[in-house]
Structures are given as structure tokens and as C-alpha cells.
Amino acid sequence: MAEEPVGCAKPTGAVIGEDAASPDKSMDKPKEGESTMVMARVGGKAPDFQAPAYHKGKFITIKLSGDFTFV
């Protein structure tokens, strides 16, 4: 959870991992209307993401698979 520099941009989060299987997109275009996103569902793997966050006075970047804490 590294601290992030503050700028004027409005940073947002992104889902990660979905493009790993297909580095050359022109060779493997998804059909029209077909989604490559893995949707969240019970019993399935939680879609991983990386996103900016505010935490105890600091602006940080958090990654679900890396910074996750358990109860």
C-alpha cells in the first residue's frame, strides 16, 4: 500500500488480469456483444482490481489480491 503523490487528476480504479491471455488483441477480437469481463458471482473468484484509496490520512493504491486483510 504505497502512498501516492497528490495531483489534480481524479484517479480511478481498474480491473486487472482480464487481458493477460491475449496480448495481441487484433488476432483475437471478441465477437460483437461478447464481454471479456469476468463478473462477480457467489462461489466464483472475486474479480481482482487495483484502485486509488484514502486510508488514515493518506492517499494510497490498493490491490485486492495483494493488500487484502481478513477478519
Partner 1 sequence: MLSVSTDSTFVHKIWEEEELSKMTKSGIPWPMVADGAGNLGRVYGVYDEGNGVNIRGRFLIDPDGVIQAMEVLTPPVGRKVEETIRQVHAFQLVRKTKGAEACPAGWEPGKPTLKPGPDLVGKVWKVWQPE
27 binds partner 1 (CB under 8 A): no
12 binds partner 1 (CB under 8 A): yes
Would you mind telling me the total number of residues written for the chain in this entry?
71
Q: Which is nearer to partner 1, 21 or 71 (CB)?
A: 71
Q: Which is nearer to partner 1, 23 or 70 (CB)?
A: 70
Hey, what's the cell of 37?
469481463
Torsion of CA 66, 25, 39, 14, to 10 degrees: 40
Residues lying near partner 1 in the complex (CB under 8 A) are found at 1, 10-15, 37-49, 51-57, 59-60, 62, 64-65, 67-71
